[in-house]
């Protein structure tokens, strides 16, 4: 890993100081490409300015805790020393879903929101870290939609959750009023899923749990992220809830793979991961199997750090001359090769 100068790190910090810049990606010009990039640097780094923790760094850059821990396996999660270098996320492969509404890929603890295209503005996608349901309260999968939006919601804990808290010596009231200790935070999006599943904010007590598998099935977001999402999406917005721990996508004729660990309570072997990855690679290359370094693929499926890795580079597709029969009103022309 190339460690840059303090000056370069300062540029990086100033470049992503704004919340919008930290989560907004311009979609690739080629509509068939699905790899998005945040920074010009292949491996963006930051130098911490004071002793803190990796969750502190994740909070500052709106990353999930699990995500930043995976990217920094040699950094002490609870004791990052002043001037220590921390690696940040950069590239992401978009989940294999329609580029509309919201996609929740619970396998990577991350959400993708595709705002409506505006005239004169390149298509964009907003990406947010979020927490998901733990093993015994799994977040459901499938297509749904937002059916209600509530600001400053009161929380009515289900009886099952009240029993759980009572058993742990932490009884809950029948209603938790809005405020800094309300687990729903200040904004709530109600999904059309039986059981009352929500996308919501968080209270000050659990803010460092974003990007972890800790909720009772709902999707929990940072306060500023849920506020931005709440103010952007209307009722009726489609929501795709998927679990794609392995993703494959193109960017500028290079094929990338991104792999994440299994969720708690799930376990797949390396052979099973390889089988899934090979099928995705073949699908991405029009059902052909390109010649690529199998060692790079195996390494990505072993490390499972969620960082897209280049597998294969194809020749650029060029515009080829095409002979057009005369006598039919045509003057000849060029078509792009496929």
Collapsed DSSP state (helix, strand, coil) of residue 155 = strand
E strand or H helix that includes residue 189: strand 187-191
d(CA 190, CA 60): 27
* pLDDT score of 294: 93
Residue range 115-166, pLDDT digits in tens: 998 888 899 999 999 987 554 446 678 999 999 999 998 876 666 666 666 6
Whether 218 is a known active-site residue: answer yes
Tell me which residues of the chain have a pLDDT lower than 50. 1-21, 135-137, 319-338
d(CA 244, CA 106): 8
d(CA 276, CA 246): 8
d(CA 242, CA 132): 12
* pLDDT score of 213: 63
* pLDDT score of 53: 93
Catalytic residue among 200, 260, 328, 336: 200
* pLDDT score of 10: 35
Q: What residues pair up with 148 in beta bridges, in sequence order?
A: 190
Tokens of 56: 């502190």
Residue range 219-229, pLDDT digits in tens: 889 999 999 99
Backbone phi, psi, residue 211, to 5°: 85, 25
DSSP string, 3-66: ---HHHHHHHHHHT-SHHHHHEEEPPSSTT--EE-SSSSSS-EEE-SSSB-HHHHHHHTT--HH
Tokens of 337: 């090769």
* pLDDT score of 265: 81
Crossing angle for the helix pair 294-303 and 270-284, nearest 10 degrees?
120
d(CA 118, CA 98): 18
Q: Considering all CA atoms of the chain, what is the largest pairwise distance in Å, rounded to the nearest integer?
A: 87
Domain boundaries, the chain: 6-242, 246-313
CATH of 6-242, one of 3.30.930.10, 2.40.50.90, 1.10.760.10, 2.40.440.10: 2.40.440.10
Supply the DSSP symbol for 316.
P
Catalytic residue among 9, 190, 218, 260: 218
* pLDDT score of 16: 40
Whether 200 is a known active-site residue: answer yes
* pTM summary value: 0.81
* pLDDT score of 179: 77
* pLDDT score of 21: 43
């Amino acid at each position: 890993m190339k460690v840059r100068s303090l000056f370069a790190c300062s540029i990086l910090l100033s470049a992503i100081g704004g919340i919008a810049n930290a989560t907004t990606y311009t979609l690739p010009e080629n509509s068939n490409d699905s790899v998005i990039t945040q920074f010009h640097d292949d491996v963006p780094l930051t130098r911490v300015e004071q002793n803190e923790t990796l969750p502190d760094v994740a909070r500052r850059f709106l990353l999930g805790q699990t995500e930043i821990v995976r990217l920094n396996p040699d950094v002490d999660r609870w004791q990052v020393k002043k001037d220590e270098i921390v690696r940040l996320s950069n590239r992401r492969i978009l989940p294999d879903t329609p580029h509309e509404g919201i996609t929740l890929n619970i396998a990577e603890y991350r959400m993708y929101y595709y705002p409506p295209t505006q005239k004169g503005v390149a298509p964009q996608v907003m990406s947010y870290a979020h927490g998901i349901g733990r093993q015994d309260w799994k977040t459901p999968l499938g297509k749904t939609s937002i059916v209600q939006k509530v600001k400053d919601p009161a929380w009515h804990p289900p009886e099952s959750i009240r029993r759980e808290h009572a058993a742990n010596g932490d009884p809950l009231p029948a209603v938790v009023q809005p405020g800094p200790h309300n687990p729903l935070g200040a904004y709530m999006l109600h999904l059309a899923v039986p059981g009352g599943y929500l996308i919501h904010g968080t209270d000050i007590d659990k803010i460092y749990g974003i990007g972890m598998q800790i909720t009772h099935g709902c999707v929990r977001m940072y306060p500023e992220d849920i506020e931005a999402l709440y103010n952007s999406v209307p009722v009726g917005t489609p929501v795709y809830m998927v679990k794609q721990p392995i993703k494959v996508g193109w960017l500028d004729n290079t094929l990338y793979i991104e792999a994440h660990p299994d969720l708690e309570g799930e376990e797949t072997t390396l052979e099973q991961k390889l089988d899934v990855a090979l099928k995705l690679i073949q699908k991405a290359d029009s059902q052909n199997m390109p010649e690529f370094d199998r060692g790079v693929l195996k390494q990505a499926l072993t490390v499972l750090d969620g960082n897209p890795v280049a597998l294969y580079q194809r020749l650029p597709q060029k515009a080829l001359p095409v002979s057009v029969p005369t006598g039919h009103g045509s003057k000849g022309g060029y078509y792009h090769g496929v």
